[in-house]
Amino acid sequence: MFRLKTININGVSYNERINIEEELNKLKNTNIFKINEFKVFKKLAKFNFIEDIYVKKIFPSSININLSMTNILGKTFLNGEEFYIGKNGKFINSNQFFEKYKTATVFGKFEVKEFLNLYNILNSQQLEINEIDYYYYFKNRRWDLVFSNGLTLKLPSKNKKDSIKIFKELIDNDKLTNTKIIDLRVSNQIIMTNNNE
C-alpha cells in the first residue's frame, strides 16, 4: 500500500522532465516511508541546471517534486565540450538541454565564482549585459569584454566596480561612436582607440 507509484515533477520544460523522470523512476516501488529528501537530491545531483528542489510526499503512494531551473549566464568550453554557466555557480554540460541558449561566450581558464563576481558587478551598475558577446579571462585575474557593437572594454584585475562606473559614464557620452577599445587597465588612466587607428 505504501509503495511509491507516482512521481509528479513541476518547474522544468518537457524535455528536461523526461530525463529527470527516467532517473527518479528508479525510486518507484520503494516504501514511501524510506524515501527522504536526501535520496531525491542524490538522484537529481547530476542535473546541474536545477537550482532549487522542493519535495512533498502525498500518502499513500505519490511524491510531488517542484524544481526551479537556474538562469543561464554564459557558455564556455571545457576539454572541447560546450558547457553553460549557471547562476547557481555550476558548469552545465550543454547535452543536458534539448534547446540551445543564445548567450555570451566566455574564454579562458576561470572559476565560476570569478565570472559570477564580474557578472554581479556589471548587473549592479545596470550595464546592458545582453549586449556583451564575449568575455576573455586572463591569468592575472583580468577580463576583456567585447560588445555586440564591436567595442572592447579592458578591465583591470582590481577595482573592477570603479572601472565599470567610469565605463558607464563614457558610453553615455555621444562622442564615443567611433571608439573601438576602452582600456582601463592602468589606474587613473583612460586609453581609447578609435576604429581608424
Residue type at position 122: L
Which CATH fold would you assign to the domain 104-194? Answer: Rossmann fold (3.40.50)
* Distance, CA of 132 to CA of 114 (rounded, Å): 17
Which pLDDT does position 178 carry in this prediction?
79
> Residues spanned by CATH 3.40.50.11690 within the chain?
104-194
Confidence at residue 195, expressed as pLDDT on a 0 to 100 scale: 74
Stated pTM of the model: 0.87
pLDDT tens digits, one per residue of 26-55 = 999 999 999 988 999 999 999 999 999 999
Per-residue pLDDT 10s for the chain (197 aa) are 799 999 999 999 888 899 999 999 999 999 999 998 899 999 999 999 999 999 999 999 999 999 999 999 999 999 999 999 999 999 999 998 878 889 999 999 999 999 999 999 999 998 889 999 999 999 999 999 999 999 999 999 998 999 999 998 888 776 667 789 999 999 888 888 887 65
Distance between CA atoms of residues 43 and 25, nearest Å: 10
* CATH 3.10.20.310 placement within the chain: 6-69
pLDDT of residue 118: 96
Q: What is the pLDDT of residue 139?
A: 93
Pairing between β-strand 105-107 and β-strand 132-138 as defined by DSSP bridges: parallel
Which residues, including other chains, have CB under 8 Å from residue 78's CB and lie 6 or more apart? 91
> Which CATH architecture is the domain 6-69 placed in?
Roll (3.10)
Q: Determine contact, residues 9/19, Cβ cutoff 8 Å.
A: no
CA angle 117/122/124 to nearest 5° reads 95
